[in-house]
Amino acid sequence: MEQNDLPYGVLVDFYEKIEATTSRLAMTDYLVALFKKTPTNVLDKVIYLTQGQLRPDYEGVELGVAEKLTLRAISKASGVSLKSVEELYKKTGDPGLVAEELLSKPRQSAGLLGYIGEETGKRELMVSHVYNSLMKIALASGEGSQDTKINTLASLLSDASPKEAKYIVRTVTGKLRLGIADMTILDALAVAFTGTKSARDVLERAYTRRPDLGFIARTLAEKGLEAVRSIRIEVGVPILPMLAERLGDPGEILEKLGGSCLAEFKYDGERVQAHRKGDKVWLFSRRLENITSHYPDVVNFMLTLKADEFIVEGEIVAYNPDTGDMLPFQELMHRRRKYDVKKAMEEYPVRVYLFDIVYLNGEELIEKPLPERRKILESITPPRDENILLSQAKLVDNVKDLMLFFEEAISEGCEGVMCKSTGNQSIYQMGARGWLWIKFKRDYRMEMTDTVDLVVVGAFHGRGKRAGTYGALLMAAYDPNSDTFKTVCKVGSGFTDEDLANLPKLLEPYKIPHRHPRVVSKLEADVWFVPAVVLEIIGAEITLSPLHTCALGKIEPDSGLAVRFPRFTGRYRFDKKPEQATTESELIEMYKSQRKTVVQA
């Protein structure tokens, strides 16, 4: 075996173990063992592959080969007719299994190397070769690219064992979903390369500046922990955004923030992290996808800022060109279409409200308190521009003023206000949900007026009218402390017929035969999923419930929290990763503020 590469079979053994386990700890142990076995120069590739990708998300290198092309490649590699391949696919629904089954038969294809069996001493398939071929497939574009994709994949499959072929096919079709959290990978890296978990903090800090696990892993393995410590923010590479906690009581908010705060309008749009270096601009979404091509107008707005090199944050908001009024978030969905962005730009114009700056001309500003950052932001924002503005903000130090400002925000079409600490400690906390920013939306009263974003972790089969689709989905909140998803409700209402028809297909790639190790549930679902899909849910109220595991024992012994009468709002939160769903502590907070309002009323 070559010392600078890893047999792909080793990775495949690891995939199989991960798929079979229901223990979260075992996941980390398997990762540690894998990393220890992996030569340094393919460590990044192994990590990306493990996550079913080739590069970090924000670079936008997409695998997702269409199933049709994949089946053609399988046909070519196995020598089985396309018709038979398609038939088998109809039966199994998993192109990976099709590849595995057809490639375990003696091959009839001429010219290709072919898998003849272990005993023949066939050359081992190595990770680099798999990775490079997948990269070639991902990058092929333009004329002839379909043929390149099919031929490259067919040749790779010909060199693979049946089991390897199964995972290669799942990877190219975007169906390798192991559900390993980035934080678990950081834990495993710490143990594998420093011997203890204590280095995890350093790795996590580097990750908030540069969320590229492959890069961090190689830096650690090649240059050591000190080099990881000195990883800096780089223009063009998104940082993890700072997040807010939420409270429902203005008095409590002010108290938490030391008596006064900067209250800002909380705009209902799409969060954007804009980077600029000279004439080049990058736009990243809340979950760090590159969304530059959706907003050529925002790119131009960024070029009007008075600095050459910066990273700023703001909210992109759609508005009605006739009245100038702000429109709700949903209107931005028109910008997601691939073609005719120009037309969408005219029909659905947007403005940007800037609220933070984290980097300017070579200097990181994250350690500076908010008032200083805001001043710097103001100094580079053109005055009186209609398209790019500073967020509306006001320093407040009493409940009355805060409520007045809040009402103003609501009447202008905002969701509420963001209350931000202005103290010396008011740094930009990358990647953290903390008390330096507190969101204050329309109150939580008895009826739940605020929505929650929950993760689909399981489902129950539908009956009667719903036969063939799901009757209800098992939904969970995220608990960052234990890195697990804890159930809060079964949701069956709010779905349109179209939603219902699409659900099985939408969730198919995440289906697993048992509860995912990161899911904590007392209920036994009919079908389990890798936590991945986030849905927006509204309910009547948040109640105590012995059935659910969210906040179990934290408010009352033997009781968790549940959303009563939950309903899907129609909003799929594809812009959120499961780890960005509503957290257990947010639900506890919502429950408490609900009670407080009831007591006060």
- Let me know: does 74 contact 54? Beta carbons within 8 Å: no
First to last CA, the chain: 73
CB atoms within 10 A of CB 63: 17
Among 240, 396, 418, 587, binds ligand ATP (CB under 6 A): 418
Nearer to ligand ATP, 343 or 574 (CB): 574
Q: Helix (H, G, I), strand (E, B), or coil: what is residue 9?
A: helix
To which residue do tokens 């396309």 refer?
82
Q: Does 267 bind ligand ATP (CB under 6 A)?
A: yes
Residues 396 to 415 in contact with ligand ATP, rule: CB under 6 A: 415
Kindly report the CA angle at 541 between 535 and 543, in degrees rounded to 5? Answer: 105
- The closest alpha carbon to 218, from 56, 44, 45, belongs to 44
The residue count for binding ligand ATP (CB under 6 A) is 16
The answer for residues whose C-beta is within 8 angstroms of residue 428's C-beta and 6 or more apart is 242, 356, 358, 365, 366, 367, 368, 370, 373
> 286: annotated binding-site residue?
yes
Q: Does 391 bind ligand ATP (CB under 6 A)?
A: yes
Rounded to an integer, what distance in angstroms lies between the CA atom of residue 86 and that of residue 100? Answer: 14
* DSSP output for 541-585: EEEEESS--TTTTTSSTT-EEEEES-EEEEEE-TTS-GGGSPBHH
Tell me which stretch binds ligand ATP (CB under 6 A): 62-70, 263-271, 455-463, 514-522. 263-271
Rounded to an integer, what distance in angstroms lies between the CA atom of residue 293 and that of residue 304? Answer: 18
Token output for 79? 């020598």
Nearer to ligand ATP, 391 or 549 (CB): 391
- The closest alpha carbon to 540, from 440, 447, 416, 417, belongs to 447
> 347: annotated binding-site residue?
no
To which residue do tokens 């008075």 refer?
306
Among 73, 85, 153, 244, binds ligand ATP (CB under 6 A): 244
Secondary structure in 3-state letters for 263-314: EEEECCCEEEEEEEECCEEEEECCCCCECHHHCHHHHHHHHCCCCCEEEEEE
Q: Is 266 a catalytic residue?
A: yes
Helices (H), 431-507: 497-507
Tell me which stretch binds ligand ATP (CB under 6 A): 44-52, 66-74, 259-267, 544-552. 259-267
Cβ at position 165, least distance to ligand ATP in Å: 39
Q: Helix (H, G, I), strand (E, B), or coil: what is residue 505?
A: helix
> 271: annotated binding-site residue?
yes
> 515: annotated binding-site residue?
no
Cβ at position 304, least distance to ligand ATP in Å: 20
Active site residue: 266, 420, 441, 490, which one? 266
Tell me which stretch binds ligand ATP (CB under 6 A): 210-218, 266-274, 537-545, 548-556. 266-274
> 439: annotated binding-site residue?
yes
Token output for 170? 């799942």
Nearer to ligand ATP, 117 or 434 (CB): 434
Residues 269 to 328 in contact with ligand ATP, rule: CB under 6 A: 271, 286, 315
> 394: annotated binding-site residue?
no
Q: Does 584 bind ligand ATP (CB under 6 A)?
A: no
Nearer to ligand ATP, 171 or 391 (CB): 391
Using CB positions, name the residue nearest to ligand ATP.
Answer: 271
Nearer to ligand ATP, 137 or 262 (CB): 262
Cβ at position 426, least distance to ligand ATP in Å: 13
Kindly report the CA angle at 434 between 247 and 448, in degrees rounded to 5? Answer: 25
Q: Does 264 bind ligand ATP (CB under 6 A)?
A: yes
Nearer to ligand ATP, 214 or 539 (CB): 539
> 45: annotated binding-site residue?
no
Q: Does 455 bind ligand ATP (CB under 6 A)?
A: no
Residues 179 to 238 in contact with ligand ATP, rule: CB under 6 A: none
Contact residues toward ligand ATP (CB under 6 A) are 243-244, 264-267, 271, 286, 315, 355, 391, 415, 418, 439, 453, 580
Binding residues for ATP are: 264, 271, 286, 315, 355, 433, 439
The residues annotated with a catalytic role in the active site are 266
Binding residues are: 264, 271, 286, 315, 355, 433, 439
